[in-house]
Amino acid sequence: MKDVNECRARLAGIFNITVTPFDASGALDRAGLARSIERVIGLGYDGILIGGTYGEFPAMSPAERAELFRAAMEVAGDRVPVMLCSAASDARTARELTALAGELGGLPMVTPPFVSEVTDVQIAAFFEEMAPLSRTGILIYNAPGIGITLAPDLIERLADIPGVAGIKQGDLSVTAIDRIANRLGGRIKLFCASDLAFLGPMMAGFDGISSTNSCALPELILATYRALEAGDAATAREMHKCWYAFRALARRHGQPQMVKAAMNLRGFDGGHVRAPLRDLDAEAFAEVTAMMQALAADPRTRVTLKG
């Protein structure tokens, strides 16, 4: 993508949050990453997100993250829009990765600076500094999971910053979604940050979703989204119910370790997680295996297991 206008035009639909496959030694599996990207593009996903929270960016050095950006863009090219997470607790790293992401033709996804007691004024100043660094603009990630939740008042203020292409909204409370959808829809692109509960935001008028679990269940989650997109809410609801057991285990065992285990069961390139995360132990892996076997037995899911 060449500029923020093109980004805004292309930012819509379902984006796969691609996990970062590490081998047993902790090294990036570039071939596995390429296969994962090709899989979701081939299935018809509208875009991908690289190096996000579930891509384990906090466990990677700035140099490794830059390598990941380049590797992903070499594979994806301009076939689909690519979000590249440039979030960092060190503003210097955020600046460096934001500029690189835009230079590569991706859209930098930037969180608020996750330091203690940062004020709204300081958050706004941070994004005002970040946006001009990228020729493609920036995507603001409202990520309560890392400790800072942007209130709707502040989001509206940030939406007026030149170069802000959209927001990936992780606060999925009904009042926040209602206000953002009705006050910011059409001004910036609105993405639901979770595939666990995307039906409501999409019905409210959001432009798209990002999905980590689609790394393990790409066919099922894509079909669910397309049904909703086509106005078939009943089918979307029933398909979303199909993988409730998956979501329940993910909450218990944590992400991305659970989705990587499920990917490996399918013969996909989940690989390993990096410390401080740990791969699932034998008992948890047995639970995931049983759940995936049950999903594979349901003809609606199109899930197949290796072997």
Active site members:
141, 168
Q: How far apart are CA 3 and CA 105, in angstroms?
A: 8
CA distance 51 to 83: 9
- What is the C-alpha separation between 244 and 231, in angstroms, rounded? 22
C-alpha span between 99 and 118 (Å, rounded): 23
Strands (E), 115-163: 138-142
Tally of residues, the chain:
307
- Run of H or E including 58: none
Q: Rounded CA gap, 244 and 248, in Å?
A: 6
Residue 291 tokens, joined: 């759940």
| Contact status, residue 192 vs residue 198, Cβ threshold 8 Å | yes
* Chain mean position to CA 8: 17
> In 3D, which of 300, 171, 303 has the Cα closest to residue 240?
300
CA nearest 105: which of 75, 127, 84, 133?
Answer: 84
Task: Identify the DSSP state of 306.
Answer: -
